[in-house]
Amino acid sequence: MSGVLTWMKQDFERVASTIPVLQQTSQRTFQARFSIILEAFLTGYNAALADRTLHIQAIQESLDNQYDPYYVGFAYEGLGMGLGARTLRYPSEISSLEHQFKRFSPRYMYQYYVGLGWWMHTRYGFRPKPYQQWLSRLDPLYGSIVFDGVGFRSGIWKLAIEGDRLLARFRQLGYEAERTCLQGLGRSIWFLGECNLLKALQLVESLPKSHQPDVCSGLGLAVGYTEFEDLKWMLSLQEWVPQELRISYQQGLAFGLYARKRQMNGFIHWIDCYADSISKPVHAYLDIVTRSYETMQQTDVPYTYSHWLDDVRSRLEAMNV
């Protein structure tokens, strides 16, 4: 086992002690849930660093057996970070990274790129050039999702103390990156608000108005991905979202549900257990994201992630879901 890889492994207690919201919250339910999410993430990360050889089946079985369907996606997100970290010691693995993602499981494609973004932000901070070099080797649609990881990691640790400076740093990465960073920031705000939508919206509304739609997209994504166990309640939350931000929020909600659909066997059956008043809008969200994705895949145009966001928002607006 390489000393470099051993050094990069992370301890849960140490990392948790550095996250302000985990240390300051008085909400025990939130603290317990976020702690398990972080633990799953770090378990996946450390699994990628356990040996020079990637024992794919053993790692997959370990993560799947250790975490239930609610949490296991976070473990695969951490795995994406760990696979990125390995390239520091084994640069040749960069060229096969996306192949490795698929070998582990194609169900977690979104999570892998988010986790990779965590690694890239750890390694490169906000220097644009290294990101550009990486993106030239990644899938044009999924590749820029790494900036969601950058935005989330930045938000969890730095939003309260850096604020406008953090937003300026997103901007220096370029238009595509900035928008996806803002989405990641929105995901972090769900947790900074202790999974309370009204508290989270207060944080969103404290940001510049031009940034709020993409931030609200990330907030919706976090809600869709984490609150799917009660779809009726999940859908009811959007009534609290300001009208001018609702389409962006719904787009994020649809993406969060889409990630769950890809990840979880039986998710469609779960949706169909609800009354039509609940199941129909959820199916509509999923259908819109799916049709948008399929349309982009049928052309030779190298669509980016922001194209996907905007196309889904346009479809949602047209359908008035």
Token readout for 272 is 């169909």
Average pLDDT of 112-120?
Answer: 97
Quick check: 201 pLDDT over 70? yes
- The pLDDT of residue 1 is 43
First CA to last CA distance, the chain:
53
Quick check: 321 pLDDT over 80? no
Nearby residues of 195 by Cβ (< 8 Å), 6 or more positions away: 30, 33, 226, 227
**pLDDT classification of 27: cutoffs 50, 70, 90:** very high
Question: What percentage of the chain carries pLDDT values higher than 90?
Answer: 88
- The pLDDT of residue 2 is 47
Average pLDDT of 60-68?
Answer: 96
- Fill in the DSSP letter of residue 52: S
User: Which residue segment(s) compose the domain that 284 sits in?
Assistant: 3-319
pLDDT digits (tens, 9 = 90+) for 289-315: 999 999 998 888 888 999 999 999 999
CA-based nearest residue to 230, from 198, 270, 258: 270
Question: What percentage of the chain carries pLDDT values higher than 70?
Answer: 98
Quick check: 132 pLDDT over 50? yes
Burial of 158-193, coded b for 16+ CB within 10 Å and e otherwise, reads bbeeeeeebbebbeebbebbbbbbbbbbbbbbbbbb
> Is the overall model pTM greater than 0.85, yes or no?
yes
Can you tell me the distance from the alpha carbon of 54 to that of 315, in angstroms, rounded to the nearest whole number? Answer: 41
Can you tell me the distance from the alpha carbon of 268 to that of 258, in angstroms, rounded to the nearest whole number? Answer: 11
Number of compact structural domains in the chain: 1
CB atoms near residue 78 (< 10 Å)? 29
Mean pLDDT of the chain: 94
Quick check: 126 pLDDT over 50? yes
DSSP readout, 198-245?
Answer: HHHHHHHHTS-TTTHHHHHHHHHHHHHHHSTTSHHHHHHGGGGS-HHH
